[in-house]
Structure 1
Amino acid sequence: MQYVALCGKALLATVFLVSAWTKLRSPAAFGAFRRSTRRMAILPEPWVRPVAVLVVAAEVAIVLLLAVPLPVTALLGLGLAAVLLTGLALAIASTVRRGVRTTCQCFGHSDTPLGAVHIVRNLTLVAVAVAAAVTGARGGAVEFGAGLLAVLAGVLAGAVVTVLDDLRHLLRPVPPPKTSAARQGIRTSVRRSA
């Protein structure tokens, strides 16, 4: 069961590392996140910046706590991740329910508006945090090779989570091009005469 915990911790550490990095890489990136937070229209204006800073600080803290190989820090990191993700899921749900259209700036620039997929993503990550906490609390020996594989699987899964909006956009079916009725008529008449 330690492998589930290792995989879950690696997944969450990857998600929060990318999330924090994409917000902290430049003042413009943090500004975009802050504006996205403002457009959610949940917080009073004076609270937007402090809450944005607090979210990023929590993301960094989660990464640091999960990086320390001690059971107590893992539990703290997983608990903080579950609380933050639950809060974000509730904030997104409120935003979507009220019909506010704003983009997800969770992992840097995105044109994808907040929606059900973001709520499901966050709640799934809460489940990962809980599963990792429960399985990690039991303790037990870990074989190096299997442990490394679990960590790599978690990093890969975390990377997929961070590009989920891009993957959805890439895999979205492309509608056939629309043609005008006149052009369709010309094509029909050409086919009939041939």
Structure 2
Amino acid sequence: MTASEGRADVSGLRALAHPLRLRLLSLTTVRAISATDAARELGESQANVSYHMRQLHAAGLLEIVEETSVRGGRAKLYRHNPSSGESLSTGSGDDYAALASVLAEELLRRSLDRRTGSRGAFTDAELWLPAEAWERVLQLASELGEIMHSEARAPDTAGTVHASATLMLFEMARKGTSR
């Protein structure tokens, strides 16, 4: 990895370390959307959403797919390419800790909206795996993300399930057991 790729990884991880930005990535996975429409859908100010979308774009996590004229100005439609996150795998421990903190906050927000009695899945582990098994786990996680993003539909589409998924896998540097 080059020094510039390393800087991109860090800026990308930092760009993700905000709960609104995670919600924007989910929203823009299904369709291209303007900051104005995203703000309306998320109940946020247009200026705030526009700022966060620009940060995600600068980090390479959102792409501009269209620009249109609106009342004398330009409206940009952004879309998230879910595979863009794969370039963020080499950030520092501090960057991952910041991201984990925001993911935990977002997971808590989503869990409060969990449909009571619905099926789900849970696993948590800190363990030692053979290198081949670890590679397979990473591949399966990548496939899971690809399926979820490629099958995503617009909110409230008939026949869909409003689902949440948070998965953060990483190799640990510490050589002992956890505290």
Flag the structure with higher strand content: 2
TM-score (norm 2): 0.31
Q: Which structure is richer in relative contact order (CA contacts within 8 A, separation 6 or more)?
A: 1
TM-score (norm 1): 0.29
